[in-house]
Amino acid sequence: MGKTVLGVIGGSGVYDLPGLENARWEKVESSFGEASDELRFGTLDGLEMVFLPRHGRGHKQSPSSINYRANIDAMKRAGVTDILSVSAVGSLKQELPPGTFVIVDQFIDRTFAREKSFFGEGCVAHVSMADPVCPRLGDYAQKACLAHHIPHARGGTYLVMEGPQFSTRAESHLYRSWDCAVIGMTNMPEAKLAREAEINYASIAMVTDYDCWHDEEPDVSVTHVVEVLRQNAEKAQAMVTGVARQIGTGMREPCPMGFDSVLDYAIITPPEARDPGLIKKLDVVAGRVLNR
């Protein structure tokens, strides 16, 4: 299986990781357009790591304008086998106050203005998203949070809204009635595309606010979100470092959930009916199965 290459998608608090050696920014071309930014390569205690600023350095991309396909394709081309996604969210539960890290285990995708698949006309594929995140990465994240005394919750549903506006109060109450734990704008279709690319994926949602449902707390604002993110930066770095050190530099074991071989059973278009142009674009994302 080779060794793990850990990819991290998030903001400046995670790509400026202390202790990262041989760090360098490098542009990685994608068949699906421009990624949000260059990738930052480096090693931590010998583990190869690749960081991607989801919104670009300087936060130039809105949640709806991010080229999620190019981002995941670029990570795959960089050799990434596992992705740790770190993102800011609002809490939809009283027991998840700002400062809590939620190790997400489910999503509800309410986005509508984004390209959600590498596949399509000319090569159709259907991957399972029943279990959208890697439990092994979740275990590592939980152990890292415990070791560094980071307030956290294991499990919870992340409602992904389109944005870029925050929720109405009616929407916030609706999502609470669905038993969602947190709300954000970025982890879909990111998680779906990681699955199609056979990259293990875990989502660590950092609570910054109570959205707008809480009668006794101020409604969410950018100013408040940025302030809490600044407070969370060191904790996020500690969590990512803890995950990396648990992974180590040994030989990588197959995913216990089979996420790294999901395309074996997903592509429905027979070889003779596939569009050569699309197949060329899929050379890295799906080359393992298309080229055999």
pLDDT of residue 111: 98
pLDDT band at 232 (very low <50, low <70, confident <90, very high): confident
Tokens linked to 232? 């969370």
**Confidence check: pLDDT of 14 > 90:** no
**Alpha-carbon distance 139 to 101, whole Å?**
13
Predicted confidence (pLDDT) per residue in 148-187, tens digit: 999 999 999 999 999 999 999 999 999 999 999 999 999 9
**40 in Cβ contact with 117 (< 8 Å):** no
**Confidence check: pLDDT of 221 > 70:** no
**Confidence check: pLDDT of 226 > 80:** no
pLDDT of residue 252: 87
For residue 259, give the nearest of 192, 191, 200 by alpha carbon: 200
**pTM summary value:** 0.95
Pairing of strands 5-10, 47-53: parallel
Mean pLDDT of 256-278: 95
What CATH number corresponds to the domain at position 214?
A: 3.40.50.1580
From 34-38, 165-169, 193-197, 247-251, the region with the lowest mean pLDDT = 247-251
pLDDT: which is higher, 2 or 279:
279
For residue 174, give the nearest of 225, 213, 143 by alpha carbon: 213
pLDDT: which is higher, 220 or 69:
69
**Confidence check: pLDDT of 30 > 90:** yes
Catalytic residues: 209, 211
Predicted confidence (pLDDT) per residue in 35-61, tens digit: 999 999 999 999 999 999 999 999 999
Cα 235 to Cα 47, 137, 147, 211: the distances in Å are: 20, 17, 11, 22
**Confidence check: pLDDT of 289 > 70:** yes
Predicted confidence (pLDDT) per residue in 70-120, tens digit: 999 999 999 999 999 999 999 999 999 999 999 999 999 999 999 999 999
pLDDT of residue 99: 92
The tally of domains found in the chain comes to: 1
pLDDT band at 220 (very low <50, low <70, confident <90, very high): low
pLDDT of residue 63: 96
The domain of 212 spans 5-290
pLDDT of residue 227: 74
Q: What is the mean pLDDT of the chain?
A: 93
